[in-house]
Amino acid sequence: MKNIAVLVSGGGTNLQALIDAEKSGIIKNGRITCVISSNPDAFALKRAEKFNIPTLVLSRKSYPDVASYTKALTDALIQQNADLVVYAGFMTILDEQIVKAFPYKMMNVHPALIPSFCGKGFYGLHVHEAALAKGVKLSGATVHFVTEVCDGGPIIMQKAVAVENNDTPQSLQKRIMEQAEWKILPEAVSLFCQDKIRICDGKAYII
Ligand code: GAR
């Protein structure tokens, strides 16, 4: 059974999808053992507490720089014996220390079809604003391994979602969450926990 640590910063709907998937048996061979938030006011913390999942707040503001914050977070994850670290709406920039400590053991859900609308500055509603500004007809979500390159690690799963003529960033975000993120994130986590993902030549393959 793998220990899953979930990193959050906000509402935590992806965390909720993971909790629900664990309860319903969609996540095989894994259990959420801790939730760590960069934001003390994140509603995600309340979701975890409701299900008696241990929580920890590591506020970015309490650390002078990215390096000291990353070290504190990495140490906490090692202390928790995390086998898998899931970035579920985690909005805080970290450095390469954490990638070295958890190589191909961290995954992120991004609300677009990478390599579109990703990288620095593309997070939350900004991603959907950019997709609508471009006029794309399909967007979606991507689950990928976290490497030193922002949103650049091997892609594990993607799901496309149609953009509608009258979409707002909020309506597109909602549809992408419901139809893509909340489905592929638990699936990818389950595959990882069953050792069904391999990396070959920098790409991820489901076996
Ligand atoms: C989600 O749409 C997630 O994909 C996105 O933020 C939202 C968090 O919602 N993450 C990023 O943009 C990271 N680059 P949640 O807190 O309700 O899960």
Residue closest by Cα to atom 3 of ligand 1:
89
Domain span at 29? 1-102
List, as one string, the DSSP characters of 144-191. Answer: EE--SSTT-SPEEEEEEEE--TT--HHHHHHHHIIIIIHHHHHHHHHH
What is the C-alpha separation between 73 and 102, in angstroms, rounded?
A: 12
Catalytic site residues?
110
What is the C-alpha separation between 191 and 26, in angstroms, rounded?
A: 10
Residue closest by Cα to atom 8 of ligand 1:
89
Tally of structural domains, the chain = 2
Q: Are residues 176 and 127 in the same domain?
A: yes
pLDDT of the chain along its 207 residues, tens only? 999 999 999 999 999 999 999 999 999 999 999 999 999 999 999 999 999 999 999 999 999 999 999 999 999 999 999 999 999 999 998 999 999 999 999 999 999 999 999 999 999 999 999 999 999 999 999 999 999 999 999 999 999 999 999 999 999 999 999 999 999 999 999 999 999 999 999 999 999
Q: Are residues 116 and 93 in the same domain?
A: no
Question: Are the CB atoms for 35 and 53 separated by under 8 Å?
Answer: yes
- Is 177's C-beta closer than 6 angstroms to any atom of ligand 1? yes
- The model carries a pTM of 0.97
Residue closest by Cα to atom 11 of ligand 1:
123
- Ligand 1: which atom is nearest the Cα of residue 14? 18
Q: Are residues 30 and 73 in the same domain?
A: yes
- Is 111's C-beta closer than 6 angstroms to any atom of ligand 1? yes
What is the C-alpha separation between 185 and 110, in angstroms, rounded?
A: 10
- Is 181's C-beta closer than 6 angstroms to any atom of ligand 1? yes
What is the C-alpha separation between 40 and 199, in angstroms, rounded?
A: 35
Assign residue 116 the CATH number of its domain: 3.40.50.170
What is the C-alpha separation between 131 and 70, in angstroms, rounded?
A: 31
Q: Are residues 114 and 154 in the same domain?
A: yes
Last residue of a domain, one of 49, 76, 102: 102
